[in-house]
């Protein structure tokens, strides 16, 4: 077998940068559901540490830090929203979260932004059934040396051809031919792990075209938006504990989340998600940076600007090899994930986080779907 990688590095949405002098994850960061995550065990085998300690939730009201009672009220509302979504999903209802979550005169706009950070889009575009099927044990451990670095290490001995994007897939006959800028490869079977954003963009040309039902799956399971603006600090933020995270309440979904001092590093990360995050990315890096800086000033005061000592900005939506953050099923389309992963003619196979019904949006969901696809195509080969 051979792995064709379109870009000049391994990992896709798992990417760790070290230009700050310490690891910074532009994409995947947490070992979600770490107690049942197969990558946790592999991290242990490779000696890759992860943080199991607590995080410290914060909420800024735009004028001051929320007191304990206000923070508890906000957290209670979030729990009631997710419980309502799960109740609908458990009953088999595949509708928008917005149709079932309780209204709140204060917290609803901020919750919409939190929902977008978790799912990629706001409640009006998230399926209750899809949300319900996601398995969450509540244990989410960030990888100290970087999740992208872990994935890269796991792939270190694989035959990967970098900077070799597939351009045309000719699969009408018994042998599949994959055209790339470096030539054509022939194979009995091909496993696609590209994002649904790429599949929906027609970057890959299939000859003959894929069945209409398969093409429709690329538009029923879509990529939401989530980006990071990561600021290196000259010194820690005064009075802010390591591994603190929270949101800025603005009375609008057009706000941001933040994460401070992960692993004790001099770093504060602003999270831009959902439709407002999508608009900011389209407006460009400077617009994303300005929005994040203004948000940090609103939370930490203007003195925070004197502490900023470098910045990195992700841009997953404009990345031609990704075209978004992580997947979600449109309301009424939760069952599409199964069809998305269905093989064609015993020659074309599909895997990736978007295929996973229980761990979508995660690296381990992509990993598990890849293992399942390999087992399926290996069985087809023996048959």
CA-CA distance, 89 to 132, in Å (whole number)?
5
pLDDT in the model for residue 381:
54
pLDDT in the model for residue 380:
67
> What is the percentage of the chain residues whose pLDDT exceeds 70?
99
Residue 262, pLDDT above cutoff 80: yes
Q: At 342, phi and psi to the nearest 5?
A: -70, 130
| 137-170 per-position pLDDT tens digit | 999 999 999 999 999 999 999 999 999 999 999 9
Place of tokens 């000033």: 297
Sheet holding 168-170, edge to edge: 183-187, 176-180, 168-170, 205-207
Residue 265, pLDDT above cutoff 70: yes
Instruction: From residue 357, give the alpha-carbon distance in Å to each of 11, 103, 354.
Output: 21, 28, 8
Residue 382, pLDDT above cutoff 80: no
Stretch 284-299: mean pLDDT: 97
Stretch 209-216: mean pLDDT: 97
| 222-240 per-position pLDDT tens digit | 999 999 999 999 999 999 9
Sign of CA dihedral 136, 261, 116, 78: positive
pLDDT in the model for residue 178:
97
| 351-369 per-position pLDDT tens digit | 999 999 999 999 999 999 9
How much is the mean pLDDT over the chain? 96
| 370-381 per-position pLDDT tens digit | 999 999 999 865
> What is the percentage of the chain residues whose pLDDT exceeds 90?
96
| 77-118 per-position pLDDT tens digit | 999 999 999 999 999 999 999 999 999 999 999 999 999 999
Residue 341, pLDDT above cutoff 90: yes
CA-CA distance, 373 to 383, in Å (whole number)?
15
Instruction: From residue 9, give the alpha-carbon distance in Å to each of 104, 156, 162.
Output: 45, 11, 6
Residue 383, pLDDT above cutoff 50: no
Instruction: From residue 196, give the alpha-carbon distance in Å to each of 104, 152, 315.
Output: 34, 22, 17
CA-CA distance, 325 to 319, in Å (whole number)?
10
**pLDDT greater at residue 383 or residue 340:** 340
| 6-44 per-position pLDDT tens digit | 999 999 999 999 999 999 999 999 999 999 999 999 999
Stretch 52-73: mean pLDDT: 95
Parallel, antiparallel or unpaired: strands 308-313 and 30-31: unpaired
């Amino acid at each position: 077998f051979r792995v064709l990688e379109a870009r000049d590095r391994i990992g896709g949405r798992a990417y760790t940068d070290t230009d700050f002098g310490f690891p910074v994850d532009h994409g995947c960061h947490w070992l979600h559901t770490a107690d049942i995550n197969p990558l946790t065990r592999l991290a242990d085998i490779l000696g890759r540490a992860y943080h199991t300690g607590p995080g410290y939730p914060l909420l800024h009201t735009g004028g001051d830090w929320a007191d304990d009672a206000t923070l508890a009220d906000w957290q209670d509302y979030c729990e009631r929203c997710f419980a309502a979504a799960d109740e609908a999903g458990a009953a088999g209802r595949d509708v928008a979260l917005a149709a079932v979550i309780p209204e709140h005169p204060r917290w609803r706009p901020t919750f919409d932004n939190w929902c977008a950070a978790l799912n990629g889009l706001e409640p009006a575009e998230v399926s209750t059934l899809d949300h319900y099927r996601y398995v969450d044990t509540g244990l989410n451990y960030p990888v100290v040396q970087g999740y992208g670095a872990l994935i890269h290490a796991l792939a270190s001995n694989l035959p990967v051809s970098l900077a070799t994007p597939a351009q045309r897939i000719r699969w009408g006959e018994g042998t599949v031919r994959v055209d790339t800028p470096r030539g054509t490869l022939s194979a009995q079977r091909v496993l696609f792990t590209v994002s649904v954003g790429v599949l929906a963009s027609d970057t890959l040309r299939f000859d003959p075209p894929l069945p209409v039902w398969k093409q429709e799956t690329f538009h029923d399971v879509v990529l939401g938006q989530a980006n990071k603006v990561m600021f290196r600090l000259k010194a820690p933020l005064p009075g802010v504990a390591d591994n603190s995270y929270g949101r800025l309440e603005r009375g609008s979904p057009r706000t941001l989340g933040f994460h401070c001092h992960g692993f004790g590093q001099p770093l504060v990360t602003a999270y831009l998600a959902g439709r407002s995050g999508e608009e900011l990315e389209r407006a460009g890096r400077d617009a994303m940076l300005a929005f994040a800086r203004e948000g940090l000033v609103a939370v930490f005061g203007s003195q925070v600007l004197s502490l900023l000592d470098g910045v990195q900005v992700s841009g997953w939506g404009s990345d031609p090899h990704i075209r978004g953050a992580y997947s979600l099923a449109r309301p009424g389309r939760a069952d599409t994930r199964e069809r998305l992963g269905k093989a064609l003619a015993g020659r074309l196979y599909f895997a990736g986080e978007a295929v996973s019904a229980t761990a979508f949006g995660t690296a381990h969901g992509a990993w598990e779907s890849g293992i399942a696809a390999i087992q399926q195509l290996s069985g087809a080969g023996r048959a």
